[in-house]
A and B are shown apart, each in its own frame.
Chain A
Amino acid sequence: QVQLVESGGGVVQPGRSLTLSCVASGFTFSNYGMQWVRQAPGKGLEGVAVIWHDGGKKYYADSVKGRFTISRDDSENTLYLQMNTLRAEDTAVYYCVRDDGAVVPVFDYWGQGTVVTVSA
């Protein structure tokens, strides 16, 4: 069965860096686009970063552009999110999401989430 397991969250000071990982299993990872979606405490959902199945295209929300980098290692079935210059407003649960869409995103599987807290 499809599984997405995130890790790497934690408490970090403003201005510091953190890298999230998402290990995928139960499907051919290289065939799928992947996304990171976050949920700030008590808030709604926000798409943060997208990577196409071949890694050839990437997209970032304006709120993280220039600070976050999405990448993938298909040999390890792993998705990454490198987060630099973290701010208090980056505090959220970060979900790794499989995108099964051909035309538009189809969020069919979500990981359990990893919590990032940015605080002095």
Chain B
Amino acid sequence: DVVMTQSPLSLPVTLGQPASISCRSSQSLVHSDGNTYLDWFQQRPGQSPRRLIYKVSNRVSGVPDRFSGSGSGTDFTMSISRVEAEDVGIYFCMQGTHWPPVTFGQGTKLEIK
């Protein structure tokens, strides 16, 4: 199974400041169809996860444009340009290229400093 490694696992951020989370995979996530199936999910306290970004850099409809994704191959990053209070929660990366099974990163807990 593909191992997904996130860092940092804890991310204290001042309101209005940027934040970024790294996600590395144990093997390339480029699919045979040429796409890279790396998604990012947000889980707010007490809520279910929701998908924010798909195929590395595409925002799901309704996701604020302060969220962005980048990367290729085995190294990926999700960034928030200016953190807001509603961004508090846990962020997960997930690979779907080499499924089954899909595999998730350990999660990064974002909190306001």
CB–CB B96/A101 < 8 A: yes
Whether, in the assembled complex, A47 has its beta carbon less than 8 Å from a beta carbon of chain B, the answer is yes
Residues from chain A with Cβ under 8 Å of B37 in the complex: 103-104
The docked-state distance in angstroms from the alpha carbon of A61 to that of B100 is 8
Q: Check A95 against B48 for contact (C-beta < 8 Å).
A: yes
Q: Cβ of A44 and Cβ of B99 under 8 Å apart?
A: no
Tell whether, in the assembled complex, residue B100 and residue A47 are in contact, meaning their CB atoms are under 8 Å apart: yes
Within 8 A of B (CB), among A70-97: 95
Give the interface SS of chain A, mostly helix, strand, loop or mixed: loop
Interface membership of B8, Cβ < 8 A = no
Q: How far is the CB of B53 from chain A (nearest CB, A)?
A: 12
Contact partner of A104 (CB less than 8 A), chosen from B50, B97, B107, is B97
> Chain A residue with minimal CB distance to B54?
A106
Closest to A96 in B: B48
Number of chain A interface residues as a range: 20 to 34
Q: Is the CB of B105 within 8 A of A44?
A: yes
Are A110 and B102 in contact, with the CB atoms below 8 A?
no
Question: What number of A-B contacts does a CB cutoff of 8 Å give?
Answer: 53
Contacts of A104 in B (CB 8 A): 31, 37, 96-97, 99, 102
Tell me, yes or no, whether B86 is within 8 Å of chain A by CB: no
Q: A47-B100, A105-B99 are contacts. A111–B94 as well, Cβ < 8 Å?
A: no
List 23 interface pairs A-B (beta carbons < 8 Å), by A numbering: A43-B106, A45-B94, A45-B107, A46-B104, A47-B102, A47-B103, A47-B104, A59-B100, A59-B101, A95-B48, A95-B49, A103-B31, A103-B33, A103-B35, A103-B37, A104-B37, A106-B51, A106-B54, A107-B49, A107-B94, A108-B51, A110-B49, A110-B50
Residues of A within 8 A of B (CB): 43-47, 50, 59, 61, 95, 101, 103-108, 110-113
A-B pairs, 10 with minimum CB distance? A104-B96, A110-B48, A45-B104, A59-B100, A44-B106, A104-B37, A47-B101, A47-B102, A44-B107, A105-B96
